Structure 1
Amino acid sequence: MDRYTILVGNDINNITPGVSWGDLLTNIKTKYNVPLLANGSKPFPMLYEEIFLHAIKENNIDETQLKIYIGEEISRISQNEIHSLIRELSTDNILTTNYEFSLEGTTPTVNNSLIKETTYSVFRQYKVGNKAYWHIHGDCNVPASINLGYEHYCGQLQKMRDYVVNAPNYTSKKIHKESLIRRLKMQEKLNLQSWIDLFFTSDVHIFGLSLDFVEIDIWWLLTYRARSKYYKKSSFIENKLYYYIQNNYVNSSSDKIQLLKANDVNIIVIDIDDKAEYYKEVINRIQSKYD
């Protein structure tokens, strides 16, 4: 198992001009004739559901059509120097909540997952070069897998909890039938089969990800891991989790930082305002830690 892995969010795409989430929402509302809906302070998964339900009433669309359109728009995001630097890191595993393939540097044609998931993303993996890229919220190659709405988040969480706590309910013989937590307790050699395994067996460095509280799947995973470590006294959890944040966001993120600390996540504050330079420093710190 890798000594460390990284979990990368969408903010690395904001270094260069492109399709922002605000642009995407505006385009969706225009395309499906729901322009009067205000974004306000609505959590994005609920805003997506609102847009989708209005679009159904007005246009009788299929959700797959909507996600195909979203996938096409997101695919226009171009890679920048930070994507290239991430590919140079010594880790074999890169996790991302992003749907496009800027991190890979190319659109992969072969899905290397042990389970070919059409909707959820417990096993979703593409191999490019010597690295495995785990798209934990779906990807543009499979539009139905793009995780946007509340319904999808809840379904994803259900699959994750089954995998970790109960047991995976897939018929495939390629995966272990025992729950992850049971296999960890047995302290047998753990063959990497899901990105979730890495949260219990490898150091995980999280950056470029706002980790809003609507990310219920990731917050559940952090909480379950912390409960297992401290409440259940699970001594087999020895890895470390790190969350990187720019100093100018610390004050406005105090609630999130407190919750992350409570969930056994180490906070790394970097006092660099320029976004590109900030991410270069994050990458340098991660690499130097394992040299």
Structure 2
Amino acid sequence: MKNITILLLLLLPYFAEAQENSLSFKSGKDTFEFKYKIKEVTTSGGLRDLVLYSVYKNGKFIHSEKEDGGRLFSCKYKQPEVKPIKTLKNQIGWMLFGGGVCGNTSSYVAEVIIPVESYSTTYYSYTLISKEIPLIDSSDNEISIWYFEQNWGNGGTATSFFVPSKVTVNLNDDFFAFKKGNILSGIEFIEKIKSNEWLKSFLGFYIAGIRDVNPELMQYALDNYYTEGQKEWISVHLKSGGKQYLKQLIDKVRITQELLKETSGVVFLEIGS
């Protein structure tokens, strides 16, 4: 009897199932359901929460348009959660988020999941890393996902900064493709939010402009966020923190922008629209 008890205790982890959670919403005549469960797993980086999820339309399983869809790893300091994604009219999907940077600093990893209404076999998803929970700006025909990602550049945590990003989804498109958005378009949405003031800085907007080949955004950063007192901090990451040098970089990016326009169709770089 003692041996049987020991054997059952050894086998118990193999039979134990993580609790499955379920959320759903209606869109017209259709019902979309999101099922997920959380399992603790060991990885090369240590313990993680593995979120396994699936999406259903009217009770029928639908596939991710990505081959590795349906799973998300989360650092242990943040319990994975799910939030609804809504337009001005109704709900269109979910945001799954958990711990995204497993180190001395913390961030969120978020997966935006939107099922395609016109086709019963596919859902679209987009994964991102954000210092805070991403913000959703919605209209009747489009949603914009705004987030800030920590950038350590050429320094450490003390001199790091947060780079804004914007991803858009056109809801009139049968295929809900996630596209890089122009940060300057609708920038007042994040500028008016006071709770994230600490995330906004000259370096954040300026580096976003370089990344997106957007000289207008770089100039916006220079006009609205630059001060002489930031020179030392900026010089940690760039060759100089002086205004003249920063203007020279804007000119260089403007030339790059013109080159990309001339070679569109041959050289592809998503620069935001």
TM-score normalised over the length of structure 2: 0.27
More helix by share: 1
More strand by share: 2
User: Greater relative contact order (Cα 8 A, min sep 6): structure 1 or 2?
Assistant: 1
